[in-house]
Amino acid sequence: MRSYVSTELMQALVDHARAAGSAILEIYDRDDFSVTTKNDESPLTEADLASHRILMSSLRASMPDVPILSEESEMPAFDERRSWHTYFLIDPLDGTKEFINRNGEFTVNIALIQDGMAVMGVVHVPVTGQTYTGMVASGRRVAHLVDADDQATEIRTRSLRRGTLGVVGSRRHGSEALAAMVTRLQEEFDDVEFLSMGSSLKLCLIAEGKADFYPRVAPTCEWDTAAAQAVVEAAGGCVVDNSLELLRYNQKDDILNPHFFVFGDTDGNWINRIERLLN
């Protein structure tokens, strides 16, 4: 099967994400913008749709033979999707509630999925102009943080520090179950630092070595995680589901993720530790 992974494609994806981010910021900087509610009761803004249109157009122009699944597009039947060995999975505006609350913690997410695995990911942060990138293919894993001036710095997950653990979690979801896990982790670590963050930036904190562990025990969809999972795994970390298998994509009719766990130090005994947290 043909592999599309390349530095040339990565640069194109970064450019597409930045263009979408610029459109988002134009709306973000207004005094007011319209907000509607989708069928699942999640919010939808003009910025979500503007970003969606830009990404769909640019990705189709770059790779016309590769299907695209966007949060803001109609969901194809699984009978069609299951034949997609390669496709783009995008969230035009991840963290819409953060956008509405104007806290800056929202992103543009573009992932390339091959045979159920996230092999390329771009997570662009419009407010800062920073972009996280990750490629996982042919035994090569490389992740970067690219600043607004296009200067790239390679990023890596960090090793566990003795007695200290950085846990990252959602501002809004799964607080009771997450608090119970943090309490159990405090039995093992002397100092457990908890960081709250919106959108897929939570995974990116793991990727750049600013936190160690992210347990997600609340609902997410596949477009919420794919791009950042590629960044985490390219940086040396891992994302597993609640069966302790690698989180995969396009494996079933719906696009809801199971609960999942992100850790940076793959030598840090995390599988055994997560098993204990689940029991």
Q: 140: domain CATH number?
A: 3.30.540.10
DSSP for residue 256:
B
Which pLDDT score is estimated for 224? 97
Residues 31, 132, single domain; the answer is yes
Residue 102 maps to a domain: yes
- Which amino acid makes up residue 136? V
Which pLDDT score is estimated for 172? 65
Residues 171, 257, single domain; the answer is yes
Residues 99, 188, single domain; the answer is no
Half-sphere CA count of 200, side-chain side, radius 13 A: 33
Give the end of a domain, one of 133, 154, 175: 154
Q: What is the pTM of this model?
A: 0.96
Which pLDDT score is estimated for 54? 98
Domain CATH code at residue 229: 3.40.190.80
Tokens of 65: 């033979």
Which pLDDT score is estimated for 177? 85
Distance in angstroms between the alpha carbons of the first and the last residue of the chain: 40
- Asked if 268 and 160 touch (Cβ cutoff 8 Å), the reply is yes
Residues 148, 174, single domain; the answer is no
C-alpha span between 49 and 2 (Å, rounded):
31
Which pLDDT score is estimated for 269? 95
Residues 149, 173, single domain; the answer is no
Which pLDDT score is estimated for 40? 83
Residues 68, 177, single domain; the answer is no
Residue 159 maps to a domain: no
C-alpha span between 198 and 270 (Å, rounded):
24
Buried b (16+ CB within 10 A) or exposed e, 216-232: bbeebbbbbbbbbbbbb
Which pLDDT score is estimated for 173? 58
Tokens of 227: 């791009």
Residues 180, 80, single domain; the answer is no
Residue 227 maps to a domain: yes
- Asked if 133 and 14 touch (Cβ cutoff 8 Å), the reply is yes
Residue 2 maps to a domain: no
As separate numbers, helices (DSSP H) first and strands (DSSP E) second, the chain gives 8, 14
Give the end of a domain, one of 84, 119, 154: 154
Q: For residue 131, what are the domain limits?
A: 7-154
Could you give the 3-state DSSP secondary structure of residue 210? coil
Residue 142 maps to a domain: yes
DSSP for residue 159:
P
Residues 12, 147, single domain; the answer is yes
Q: Find residue 108's DSSP bridge partners.
A: 124
Which pLDDT score is estimated for 222? 98
C-alpha span between 256 and 24 (Å, rounded):
25
Residues 32, 139, single domain; the answer is yes
- Which amino acid makes up residue 179? A
Cβ neighbours around 129 below 10 Å, total = 16
Residue 78 maps to a domain: yes
Residue 1 maps to a domain: no
- Asked if 237 and 264 touch (Cβ cutoff 8 Å), the reply is yes
Residues 51, 141, single domain; the answer is yes
C-alpha span between 130 and 59 (Å, rounded):
20
Give the end of a domain, one of 154, 175, 202: 154
Cα angle vertex 118, ends 115, 124, to 5°? 150
C-alpha span between 72 and 68 (Å, rounded):
11
Residues 12, 125, single domain; the answer is yes
Q: Which of 119, 114, 124, 109 is nearest to 71 (CA)?
A: 109
Each of the 279 residues of the chain gets a pLDDT tens digit; together they read 677 899 999 999 999 999 999 999 999 999 889 899 998 888 999 999 999 999 999 999 999 999 999 999 999 999 999 999 999 999 999 999 999 999 999 999 999 999 999 999 999 999 999 999 999 987 789 999 999 999 999 999 999 998 999 999 986 655 788 889 999 999 999 999 999 999 999 999 999 999 999 999 999 999 999 999 999 999 999 999 999 999 999 999 999 999 999 999 999 999 999 999 998
Residues 216, 148, single domain; the answer is no
Which pLDDT score is estimated for 174? 55
Total domains, the chain: 2
